[in-house]
Amino acid sequence: TIELVLEAARWAPSWANTQCWRFIVVRDSNIKLELASTLGDNPATDAIGNAPVVIVACAELGKSGYYQGKPATDKGDWYMFDVALAMQNLVLTAHSLGLGTVHVGRFETEKAAGILSHTTRSDTFESAFLLWVGKSNNPNHEGNELFIKMHGHEIYKYSVRTVPKTVKQSLDTAGLSLTDVKMVLIHQANEKMDIAILERLFKLYDIKKIPEHIMPMTISWLGNSSVATLPTLLDLVQRGKLKNHKLRSGDIAVFASVGAGMNINSMVYRML
C-alpha cells in the first residue's frame, strides 16, 4: 500500500520533470513523536504522533524553477508548488484505497532540522589497545614524555570494516537511504582510509558510482587535528572555502568519526 501511494506521488507533474521531492516513510514511534514535537500548537500534533505511518515530504532546493543554476521566473524556487502537487496525488490515492490522511504543512522549521539520528559503537575490549600512549622507542631518550602509538594497519582494517556499517545503521534509524545524502564528512585521520570507508559504504547499498563531490577532504593541508577535524571541515564547507562543496538548508549530511577506544560515532543531520 505504501508503495502505491508513493508511486502516485512520483507521477505528479513538476518543473521540467525535475521531481525535486523526496519522501521519507517513518514507522518508528520515537521519531514520530519527535516530528510531532515540531508542530507547536498545530491541531494535527496528536495525529502525527499516533499515526501508524508518517510520510515526510522533503524538497531539494535550487532545482525546481531554476535554469542553469539561476531562478527562471520571479517566483523564485518552485519546490512548494511541486511538492504540493505530489502530496495531492499521494493523499487522493490513499483516499481511494480507503485510508485516512491528514496533510500537515505548518511546523517549526528549526525544530524539524538538526540531528535526525545518531549511532555510537564501542569495541573497548578486543580493540582497546590499537591506539595507546607509551614511552619513546628510543632507548637513549631520557625524558618521561608519553607518545601516541598505534597499530596502524589494524586500525585501518577495523575502520573500513565497522564505520560503514555504523553509518548505515544511522541512516536506517532516520528512515533514509544513502541516495538521500548530499555530503559525507569523515574524521580526517587518513585520506586512503576515508576513501576506502566511503567505497565500502556505497558497496553496502550496491551503488557502483560514487558522486564526485560527496566527501570533502582537508587532511592534505590541515592534517589530523583530532576531535577538531569534523567541526573544521563543516565550517569550511559552510563558509564556501572548499570548492564544489556546498550544503543548503534541508540537505542531509552524514558525520562519522573513529578513534581511540576503539569508538565510532555516526550522525545524520538535516541542515538548517
Angle subtended at Cα 14 by Cα 12 and Cα 17, rounded to the nearest 5 degrees: 105
Closest by alpha carbon to 49, among 19, 28, 64? 28
Q: How many CB atoms lie within 10 A of CB 142?
A: 6
Query: Cα(29)–Cα(49) distance, rounded to whole angstroms?
Result: 7
What SS3 string covers 214-265?
A: CCCCCHHHHCCCHHHHHHHHHHHHHCCCCCCCCCCCCCEEEEEEEECCCEEE
pLDDT score of 14: 95
Left (φ > 0), alpha (ψ -120 to 50) or beta: where does 132 sit? beta
Closest by alpha carbon to 253, among 272, 225, 239? 272
Higher pLDDT, 128 or 158: 158
What SS3 string covers 94-141?
A: HHHCCCCCCCCCCCCHHHHCEEEEEEEEECCCCCCCCEEEECCCCCCC
State which amino acid sits at residue 98: G
Q: What is the pTM of this model?
A: 0.67
Domains of the chain, by residue range, sit at 2-112, 114-270
Q: How many CB atoms lie within 10 A of CB 208?
A: 7
CA distances from 90 to 8, 10, 55, 241 (A): 6, 9, 10, 40
Q: Kindly report, residue by residue over 144-182, the tens digit of the pLDDT.
A: 899 988 888 999 999 999 999 999 999 988 888 999 999
CATH number of 2-112: 3.40.109.10
Confidence of residue 9 (pLDDT cuts 50, 70, 90): very high
Its CATH class, for the domain covering 114-270, is: alpha beta
Mean pLDDT for all residues in the chain: 91
Q: Kindly report, residue by residue over 61-87, the tens digit of the pLDDT.
A: 788 998 887 889 998 889 999 999 999
pLDDT at 221 over 90: yes
